[in-house]
Chain A
Amino acid sequence: MTKENNLTPDVIIKSFKDKFKTKIIDAQIKKKPAGSEKKEAIDIWMKVDKSVFKNVIKHLCDLQYPHLPVASGNDLGKNIELIYHFTLNFDKRLEEINLNISVELPKSKPEIETICDLIPGALITEREKQEFLGVKIKGIPDDRRVFLPDDFPKDVYPWRRDEKGLEKLYKNLHEVKK
């Protein structure tokens, strides 16, 4: 767990772009001022190709061991997007950076490597993504359900917006009860 000083948003993006070149599809810095003195909160939104995802996280851990509050996800139609919200520099006054790394997975093969070996605290959020979005986390140490009950139908994922979503379930409750 090396900690490098002076990790500014530009340094972070540059370091990723140098290492992964075109596999970093998009990177943006967003700033939002608050309070009377208009000091800014910094968000970095970075989209990466799924082929380098695991290496991106490894590289991030080498830069500075991040805090992973949660991963969220979107059903974008053809693809499923996972967004890992990291926090960096959290022990320095007003220097905290939100690093949101997103990766798109095709619905035909929604698979991604686990990051639990690098960040053990990612376990619950990865399990949640599996059951709610129907992505497959390869190599997850514990692939049981976490929030959904054990008798919840298989192959139904509440956050999906396609035929695998919840529509069927809540529209015909009488059929489910049978």
Chain B
Amino acid sequence: MSQTTKTTYHIPIGPIHPALKEPVYFEFEIDGERIVDVDVKLGHVHRAVEWASRKRNPIQIMYLAERICGICSYCHPAAFTLAVEKAADIQVPERAEYLRVIQAEVERITSHALWAGVAAHEIGFDTVLFLTWEMREKLMDLTEFLCGNRVTKGILTIGGIRRDITSDMVPKVTGVLDYLKDNFERLRKIFLDDKTIKMRAQGAGILTNDNALKLCAVGPTTRASGVKKDVRVGQSYFAYGDLNIDYVTPDTLTGEVNGDVYDRIIQRLLEIKQSIDLIEQCLDKMPKGDITYEPKIAKVLNQLKKAEGEGVGRHEAPRGEVIHYVKLDGNEAPFTWKVRAPTYNNILPWIPMLKGEQIADIPIVAASTDPCMSCTNRVGIVKDGNKYELTKEELHRLSVEKTRRLMR
């Protein structure tokens, strides 16, 4: 009999991968079913947008920024306009600030509803996927009603916003909010009271408070670990300074913070509730007035052409803080534009989250940070030098099987 030695082996996952919406490459070191180490490679969809901006004026960059991501098509232009407004010292009309908050919060609820569906799908609860996406559909219709578009919204402009919400539009908005409130309880029950989801999510993919802080995680990922970091609360931008808003962490509901997948689910559900409340506050408080400081784009561009200065725009996107740096130097195109999307900071926290977990947990743990990269196809496993592939369906099947095992 030949002697067997116990060694770890490597599985590469990605760049095309089931749990992620965009390509990213993982290499896992596996000992049996346990993950020992993780390495992440990025850049499969690096499109050099910052470089492309060198030949565009700030208004054109707005539309370029919108196309960085399909789900955060409001956040990137928002951070960019904030940065430009700081650099060129533009004061936005009050009404526009409130309208901007409403748009941002509609996007947040849409994104969290999408995420809830994807997360349920990852562990084999496809009925929940359809329930949450039904809710999301209502929000997409609302987005279309408010912006004229469903995905790339084209709603922001430098120094204001492009469409008003008039008093005859308000009932439709409140109607959707009421629908959400009615359905929120169903969602809460499914995600928080279901025994199987608890078994899959509790204690899985833990990110400690210390790690979240040191690895500079952002958004719901860091808040679910108890780090109170939310640009909307910490800083006065748009109309957030006027609104009644406080940090939300999972302990407001459960009384404790574990930093696991379950906490990240609670976190996002609580944030949906918070967003509904914020939109209602805005509709209540919104002052009358202009929606942009200068409706003629040519005039805005002319002013920006002369402006010199630098600014940092920070906005709390659904996935966390998005930050843009802009430097204007008196030319038509900005001198520098640096974009940083939230997932950029949530890559490193994956490593402590995934260590010690099982292969079947990869989809749900990776999805629990709501990464903004893109999806699907196959996983290759290299074992003893022989390469074989795990298809997307296979990895998904492993995840679903684990759920079924637990349900028995």
Chain A interfacial positions (CB closer than 8 Å to B): 1, 30, 32-37, 39-41, 43, 45, 65, 67-70, 72-74, 83, 85, 87, 89-96, 98, 100, 119-125, 145-149, 158-159, 166
Chain B residues positioned under 8 Å from A122 (CB to CB): 216
B340 and A69 contact, CB distance less than 8 A: yes
B119 at the interface (CB under 8 A from A): no
Chain A residues positioned under 8 Å from B247 (CB to CB): 91, 93
Supposing A91-B229, A93-B246 touch, asked if A119 and B234 sit within 8 A by C-beta, the answer is: no
State A72–B42 Cα separation when bound (angstroms).
18
Chain A residues positioned under 8 Å from B340 (CB to CB): 69-70, 72, 125
Q: Which residue of A lies closest to B289 (CB)?
A: A36
B216 and A121 contact, CB distance less than 8 A: yes
Chain A residues positioned under 8 Å from B335 (CB to CB): 74
A119 and B238 contact, CB distance less than 8 A: no
Supposing A69-B323, A121-B345 touch, asked if A96 and B231 sit within 8 A by C-beta, the answer is: yes
A33 and B43 contact, CB distance less than 8 A: no
Chain B residues positioned under 8 Å from A147 (CB to CB): 42-43, 46
Q: Which residue of A lies closest to B337 (CB)?
A: A72
B86 and A32 contact, CB distance less than 8 A: yes
Chain A residues positioned under 8 Å from B91 (CB to CB): 33
Chain B residues positioned under 8 Å from A166 (CB to CB): 51
Interface size on B, residues (CB 8 A): 54
B257 at the interface (CB under 8 A from A): no
Of A35, A67, A68, A74, the contact of B94 (CB 8 Å cutoff): A35
A96 and B46 contact, CB distance less than 8 A: no
B240: min CB distance to chain A, Å: 7
A68 and B229 contact, CB distance less than 8 A: no
Supposing A74-B335, A159-B50 touch, asked if A35 and B240 sit within 8 A by C-beta, the answer is: yes
B238 and A34 contact, CB distance less than 8 A: yes
Chain A residues positioned under 8 Å from B85 (CB to CB): 32
Chain B residues positioned under 8 Å from A93 (CB to CB): 233-234, 246-247
B347 and A35 contact, CB distance less than 8 A: no
B344 and A85 contact, CB distance less than 8 A: no
Of A41, A83, A146, the contact of B42 (CB 8 Å cutoff): A146
Of A34, A69, A72, A100, the contact of B216 (CB 8 Å cutoff): A69
Q: Which residue of A lies closest to B48 (CB)?
A: A158
Instruction: Write 28 A-B pairs (CB below 8 A) sorted by A numbering.
Output: A32-B85, A32-B86, A32-B237, A33-B91, A34-B236, A35-B94, A35-B97, A35-B239, A43-B312, A67-B213, A67-B229, A70-B338, A70-B344, A72-B336, A72-B340, A87-B234, A89-B234, A90-B229, A94-B234, A94-B235, A121-B215, A121-B217, A122-B216, A123-B348, A147-B42, A148-B46, A159-B50, A159-B336
